[in-house]
Amino acid sequence: MEYNAKLRFLRMSARKVRQVADLVRGKGVDEALEMLYFIPKAAAHPLMQTLKSATSNAINSEGSAKIKVENLYIKEIRIDGGPIMKRIRPAPMGRAYRVRKRLSHISIKLGVRSEAGEAAKNVEVHK
């Protein structure tokens, strides 16, 4: 099962947000939240909010008895460019420079790890 959360029209360029998103892609929710809390980038805060929203969406849809936060992981995280706000900045000799204020969209999909699959990964094969 997949659980989604979206943040649209974030006033930050997609390039800056992707740098932080690449650090937490594929990680468990607990580990990703902990990492985002300590990353000293401005993009970490909106990513953390969106991840918390996706986690609460998962728990609310299935119930806390069926889904444990420890079993959730980031299945997919996409950072897309949004619309660009165009502004004018005065320049010397009567000219004007264009300022492009970029926006971005964040979408996160969470998946559930099966407990049997986790147990198989944790067991090491000795020869």
> Does the pLDDT value for residue 120 go beyond 50?
no
Could you tell me the CATH number of the domain that includes residue 93? 3.90.470.10
Q: How far is residue 19's CA from residue 21's CA, in Å, rounded to a whole number? A: 6
Listed in sequence order, the residues at least 6 apart from 99 whose beta carbon sits closer than 8 Å to its beta carbon are: 86, 87, 88, 89
Q: Is residue 127 part of a domain?
A: no
DSSP run (H or E) holding 36: helix 29-38
pLDDT in tens, 22-70: 999 999 999 999 999 999 999 999 999 999 999 999 999 988 788 899 9
Judge contact between 54 and 110, C-beta under 8 A: yes
- The number of domains in the chain is 1
**β-strand pairing of 96-112 with 72-90:** antiparallel
Percentage helix, strand, coil for the chain under 3-state DSSP, each rounded to 5? 45, 35, 20
- What is this structure's pTM? 0.84
Range of the domain at 62: 3-122
